[in-house]
Amino acid sequence: MAAAFDIGLIVLLVGIGAWMIVVRDVVVATIIFVVFGLLMAIAWVRLSAVDVALTEAAIGSGITGTLLLGAAARLKGADAGGTRLSFPITVVAAVLCAMISASLAAVALLLTYPAPTLAPMAMQNLDQTGLGNPVAAVLFAYRALDTLLEKVVLLLALVGVWSLAPDRAWRGVPSLDTTVPPSDILAFFAQILPPFGIVFAIYMTWTGASNPGGAFQGGTVLAVMWLLVMMAGVMRAPSISNVWLRWLLVAGPALFLIVGFTGVFIADGFLAYPPAYAKALIVAVEAALAVSIAATLGLLAAGPPERMQQK
Amino acid sequence: MTTATLFGLCSSALVGLGLFGVIVDPHPLRKILAFNLLGSGVFLLFGVVARRGAAAGLGGDPVPQALVITGIVVAFAATALAVALVLRLFEPEAGNAVESEATSAGLEVDGGRS
Amino acid sequence: MSVAAVTATTEGYLLVLAIMWPVAGILVALVVNGRNIERVAYIVLPIGFAIATAVVMAVAQGGQSQIYVVGGWAPPLGVALRADGISAAMMMTTAMVICATGLFARGEFVQPAEGPEARAPYVFWILLFSIWSALNALVLGSDLFNLYVALELLTFAAVPLVCLKGQKETIEAALRYMLFALIGSVLYLLGAVMIYGLYGTLDIGLLSGRVRAEPATWIAAALMTVGLLAKTALFPLHLWLPPAHAGAPAPGSAILSALVVKGSFFLIVRIWFDAMPGHLSFAAAQLLAALGAGAILVGSVLALRQQRLKLMIAYSTIAQLGYLFFIFPLATGFAAGIVWSGLAWTGSWMQLFSHAFAKAAMFMAAGLIAEALGHDRIADLGGIGRKLPITMFAFALSGLSLIGVPPSGGFVAKWLLLIATINEGQWWWAAVIVVGGLLAGGYIFMVLGRLLADPLSPLVIRGAVSRSRELVALSLAVCAVLLGLVPLQPSDFLRIGR
């Protein structure tokens, strides 16, 4: 029964993925992509990775979908078609991709058991981190350096997006609120949903220490709520030179970095935590990160500033 | 066949499809969509590796699971930057709005792309 | 590398500082008013330089790799940083080129004295710090996933640099670069996860003891390598490079061509020489070198055909990157009797360092020329040597290093590689090295020949060129030449840690 469900899910995933590649209309392709993302979230549950399922649903499908749908809508009518490859080159590309697929499939079939795993080691050391969720322990203790650098990657992507602003609009606002005409329904949801969303986001961030969830998922929910109220026109998009906004962006990574360096003096070194305070420190970092992630993801989806704020 | 192996095959199909889309599709936004499909295929392989490493009472190895979370966030950042580039390149109004204060000459790449 | 890969050394903290110091700069730069961002740079650049110097000293004095275990979590569960001879040398080169570029960029990316924060300077300095942090993370990382994050950091910093000036052509170039780079990193990531699935670790030191010769390993390694080749712009994956490197503002071009493309090359070397030592087959090494040879020939011929100076320099980068790939057949030690050829190892790294200095100097010189004349058409450069003697001297010196004229870093590099081809019995690559040098002579003299020529029409200098910026370009070119004074023998420093 379970196998039949898996096979059905896989056929759907591959079928929908192929449909997305061949379908003509960009907007339709984007909608298919959102559906694909939701199916992926189910696949992650089937693979016993609930943390990832939440991330996939929130980021992979949710906010990426919002971003791409907005872009597809804005590009409608613009002549964005690049040059089509000639038929022989297309065939070569198809053969190449099929070969890569085949070799990956071979690897998937060739892998033998027992599979190597770090699960026991991750569990043995869990006590020292004070956390109950081993995925959070990997993200914020064992491999905290990756997570810290990844936060910098996010900020940098935002600087990259901003850098595309026309010079006269620097210090202006993203034009997000003009892309979707505010409608009554959107405004309705924008007033009803955020309180629940904010509570849910706080819960997600808090519970991430011991259960699936955490700063990424919580921050993304916050970002989606923020985007919603901006798109509905309930709240204005901020100017990118707003001092408060920039502090919000930096707060999480900065606290992470400071806690990291504090570890040199109170624990084993950079990004190490004394076991007694580990959980408190990590939860504090996660809370700050959730806010920064929300601001960064929201602004990434909102795009570069395009005009100056109206007084 | 185990769940892990089944999803392993799924992952390889998605990687092939996504890669094909990125290379062949002329529309830049659809290249980005295909890139996300490719990314999903790669991330799924992390899930397969994690599932195979189920041990110590866990349903999967937490290390690759955590890596995927980082990967998904990075993929979103990449998508956002690529989309911003595409919009700036093709959107008619944004294109007109470009006023380059820098008309200095190091920029004369246009005619030179022979 | 041995089991010792998991115990930290006394001066390992420097490695964390090397990565995190520029990160702190980014965070501060984001919140201070953009008008103060240059002051931040005045603090970040010299201290970053001091950190790099300290790492080089620690590695040289200890005669062994410096290691730091982040958070006290040893691999395989945690992540370690490691500085061996080549990473220390890369860090030093990076620090020198970045600081020089910072000095050079002061004339170009300044906040206006009055008025609100401006876009380009704000973005430029943040990107410069990011590239520094990313490159340090790349050369110090010893975990395949940590290196992936570093690669992405590098990409996200490099792409906006290409289109900082905002014209349509540069945005198009940036988008193309972005797509190549993204496919590259995703393929790399795919290979990395397969490695984890096979061996249960991503740590390069641990992998070297665990890797088995089996098809799945080769597929994983091939995927990682192809992905990184796309980022390194090795022929035939070079198409994105010329418009991107030529379109960027001059300080950006200097960083992109001198440093950024080397980051992914460094990682390929890490994979084949450190993670999987002894697993590179003769045929695969020949294939990599053949692509390098293709890059030398195609890149040089295309450089000869360019009419714009910046594009010519960009095509020359494609050619010069080709030489680096001779490291695979020549330094692995395939020839019977010679276990490990230190000659080719030293030669390849000398090529990398001397090209970094020479190319940064050359792009700066090209930027100054374009600024002075308002164009960079090679045909109309006649007599430029009389108008901009320092700039053209810098251009000439760096050009001689690219050709491989003694005494210059480029000469030492190419000479060591030539001897290695003979030692290793792979004379066919010697022919490519010689032809590549001749072709480089062709495109460099295409410009130098016009130095003192009488101009067709009198040269009109649009704006005065800053003397200090000319001197920055010249000092980098001098560095490229001074590298030629090292003894013509395998360097012990570059072998530290192996």
Q: Please state the ipTM of this predicted complex.
A: 0.93
CB contact under 8 A, A152 and C153: yes
Structure tokens at C232: 């390194």
Q: Which residues of A touch C122 (CB under 8 A)?
A: 170
Going by pLDDT thresholds of 50, 70 and 90, the confidence category of residue B98 is: very low
CB contact under 8 A, B39 and C370: no
More confident residue, A199 or C302: C302
CB contact under 8 A, A153 and C199: no
Mutate to test the interface with B, among C73, C193, C302 (most CBs of B within 10 A): C193
CA-to-CA distance for A17 and B10, rounded, in angstroms?
Answer: 11
pLDDT of A179 strictly over 60: no
User: Which residues 215-274 of A have a C-beta within 8 angstroms of B?
Assistant: 216
* Same domain (yes/no): A68, A150: no
Q: Which residues of B touch C120 (CB under 8 A)?
A: 102
Per cent of chain C over pLDDT 90 is 69
Residue A50 lies in a domain: yes
CA-to-CA distance for C270 and C281, rounded, in angstroms?
Answer: 16
Q: Alpha-carbon torsion A204, A210, A211, A217, what sign? A: positive
Residue A164 lies in a domain: yes
Mutate to test the interface with B, among A48, A76, A292 (most CBs of B within 10 A): A48
Task: Kindly calculate the radius of gyration of chain B based on its CA atoms and give it in whole angstroms.
Answer: 20
CB C234 within 8 A of CB C291: yes
Sequential DSSP letters for C421-434: HHHTT-HHHHHHHH
Q: Which residues of C touch B104 (CB under 8 A)?
A: 370-371, 374
Task: Kindly calculate the radius of gyration of chain A based on its CA atoms and give it in whole angstroms.
Answer: 22
3-state secondary structure of A309: coil
CB contact under 8 A, A263 and C71: yes
pLDDT of B99 strictly over 60: no
Q: Does A88 touch chain B (CB under 8 A)?
A: no
CA separation, residue B18 to residues B31, C166, C290 (Å): 9, 30, 29
CB contact under 8 A, A300 and B94: no
CB C287 within 8 A of CB C423: no
Q: Does A28 touch chain B (CB under 8 A)?
A: no
CB contact under 8 A, B100 and C250: no
Residue A240, CB half-sphere, CA atoms under 13 Å: how many? Answer: 36
Going by pLDDT thresholds of 50, 70 and 90, the confidence category of residue B34 is: very high
* Same domain (yes/no): A68, A187: no
Sequential DSSP letters for B35-103: HHHHHHHHHHHHHHHHHHT--TT-SS-HHHHHHHHHHHHHHHHHHHHHHHHHHHHH-HHHHHH---S--
CB contact under 8 A, B104 and C145: no
- C77: nearest CB among A121, A149, A150: A121
CB contact under 8 A, C127 and A166: no
CA separation, residue C8 to residues A51, A131, A197, C201, C317 (Å): 32, 26, 44, 19, 38
Residue C208, CB half-sphere, CA atoms under 13 Å: how many? Answer: 18
- A17: nearest CB among B8, B17, B66: B17
Least confident range of A187-191, C46-50, C185-189, C241-245: A187-191
Residue A293 lies in a domain: yes
Q: Which residue has the tokens 């992507």?
A: A157
Neighbours of chain A (3+ CB pairs under 8 A): B, C
CB atoms within 10 A of CB C334: 18
The confidence score (pLDDT) of residue B43 equals 95
Q: Which residues of C touch B93 (CB under 8 A)?
A: none
pLDDT of C158 strictly over 60: yes
Neighbours of chain C (3+ CB pairs under 8 A): A, B
Backbone φ and ψ for C82, nearest 5 degrees, come out as -145, 130
More confident residue, C117 or C140: C140
pLDDT tens digits, A215-234? 888 888 888 888 888 877 77
Q: Write down which residue in A75, A94, A117 finishes a domain.
A: A75
CB contact under 8 A, A149 and C145: no
Average pLDDT, chain A: 86
* For residues A12-28, average pLDDT: 90
* Same domain (yes/no): A134, A236: yes
Give the gap in angstroms from C-alpha C64 to the nearest C-alpha of chain A: 21
pLDDT of A79 strictly over 80: no
Mutate to test the interface with C, among B109, B113, B114 (most CBs of C within 10 A): B109
CA-to-CA distance for A241 and A253, rounded, in angstroms?
Answer: 19
Helix axis angle, A278-302 relative to A64-75, nearest 10°? 10
Q: Which residue has the tokens 């906010």?
A: A63
pLDDT tens digits, C248-273? 999 999 999 999 999 999 999 999 99
* For residues B77-95, average pLDDT: 82
- The CATH class given to the B3-92 domain equals mainly alpha
Q: Which residues of B touch A15 (CB under 8 A)?
A: none
Helix axis angle, C467-482 relative to C342-373, nearest 10°? 160
Minimal Cα distance from C152: which residue of A? A153
The number of distinct structural domains making up chain A is 2
- C189: nearest CB among B28, B42, B81: B42
* Same domain (yes/no): A146, A292: yes
Residue B38, CB half-sphere, CA atoms under 13 Å: how many? Answer: 27
Q: Write down which residue in A57, A75, A93 finishes a domain.
A: A75
CB contact under 8 A, C200 and A117: yes
Q: Does A20 touch chain B (CB under 8 A)?
A: yes
Cβ-defined contacts of C443-447 (< 8 Å, 24+)? C443/C300, C443/C303, C443/C304, C443/C306, C443/C312, C443/C315, C443/C316, C444/C399, C444/C400, C444/C402, C444/C403, C446/C304, C446/C312, C446/C378, C447/C309, C447/C312, C447/C378, C447/C381, C447/C395, C447/C399
Look at residues C312, C80, C119 and name the one whose alpha carbon lies nearest to residue C206: C80
pLDDT of C371 strictly over 70: yes
Minimal Cα distance from B106: which residue of C? C370
* Same domain (yes/no): A43, A181: no
CB contact under 8 A, B112 and C311: yes
Q: Classify each residue of C184-217 as buried b or exposed e, where b means 16 or more C-beta atoms within 10 Å of its C-beta.
A: bbbbbbbbbbbbbbbbbbbbbbbbbeebeeeebb
CA-to-CA distance for C464 and A117, rounded, in angstroms?
Answer: 64
CB contact under 8 A, C186 and B42: yes
CB contact under 8 A, B108 and C370: yes
Domain of A201? 130-311
pLDDT of C304 strictly over 80: yes
Neighbours of chain B (3+ CB pairs under 8 A): A, C
Where in chain C are the domains? 280-498
- C183: nearest CB among B22, B28, B108: B22
Give the gap in angstroms from C-alpha C80 to the nearest C-alpha of chain B: 15
Backbone φ and ψ for C455, nearest 5 degrees, come out as -65, 150
Which pTM does this prediction carry? Answer: 0.94
* Same domain (yes/no): A299, A211: yes
Residue A65 lies in a domain: yes
User: Which residues 90-119 of A have a C-beta within 8 angstroms of C?
Assistant: 100, 103-104, 106-107, 110-111, 115-118
Structure tokens at C321: 């990157």
The confidence score (pLDDT) of residue B107 equals 38
CA-to-CA distance for C177 and C231, rounded, in angstroms?
Answer: 9
- C23: nearest CB among A152, A170, A269: A152
Give me the residues paired with residue C203 across strands: C143
Give the gap in angstroms from C-alpha C296 to the nearest C-alpha of chain A: 25
Going by pLDDT thresholds of 50, 70 and 90, the confidence category of residue B110 is: very low
CB B81 within 8 A of CB A157: yes
* Same domain (yes/no): A61, A142: no
CA-to-CA distance for A1 and C475, rounded, in angstroms?
Answer: 72
Q: Which residues of B touch C222 (CB under 8 A)?
A: none
Q: Does A177 touch chain B (CB under 8 A)?
A: no
